[in-house]
Amino acid sequence: MDIYVRLKELGIELPASVFKGGLYTPVRVVGNLAFVSGQGPMKDGKAVMIGVIGDELTLEDGQVCARICAINTLAALHSHFGDLNKIKGCFKVLGFVRCTTEFGDEPQVINGASQLFIDVFGDEGWHARSAVGTNALPIGIPVEIEAAFELK
């Protein structure tokens, strides 16, 4: 399966560049594993949404943000490798959700990213995962995703 054909079928266009907010590399490769630094819901260098899920933002807003984070994760991999077909699949996702103390549906928010990885990589997109609620994320974004991938 060609990943770019699959992305086109899903109507996904990868951004040309990935937002970088600190002293780190977006992708670090160790052996046959690629670790992608935390990605936020950014488009054209700006946050798509800012706020707290369970307050001014909804569960659905969070899922949209998580999906955008996953797309940015793929963009980081594409930028690093030049070809997403070098990726076998996703094996680990860590998602952070900026939410109210009472919210409690962090896993449902991160499903927005998980579903994208499954849609893109098929069975190789299924992964281990953690979904953590927090009171703050950089520049006020509501979701941040980091992920790890196996290389072919």
Q: For residue 127, give its domain range.
A: 1-13+57-91+100-152
In this structure, is residue 49 part of a structural domain? no
In this structure, what CATH number is given to the domain that contains residue 65?
3.30.1330.40
Which residues of the chain register pLDDT less than 70?
A: 19-20
> Is 1 inside any structural domain?
yes
How high is the pLDDT of residue 93? 98
Domain assignment of residue 125, yes or no: yes
Domain membership of residue 133 (yes or no) is: yes
Domain assignment present for residue 48? The answer is no
The structural domain count of the chain equals 1
- pLDDT recorded at residue 61: 98
The H-or-E segment that residue 110 falls in is helix 106-121
- Digit-coded pLDDT (tens) for 88-117: 999 999 999 999 999 999 999 999 999 999
The set of residues, in sequence order, having a beta carbon less than 8 Å from that of 118 and lying 6+ positions away, is 125, 126
Instruction: Give pLDDT, residue 51.
Output: 98
Residue 35 belongs to a domain: no
CA–CA distance, 143 with 133 (Å, rounded to integer) = 9
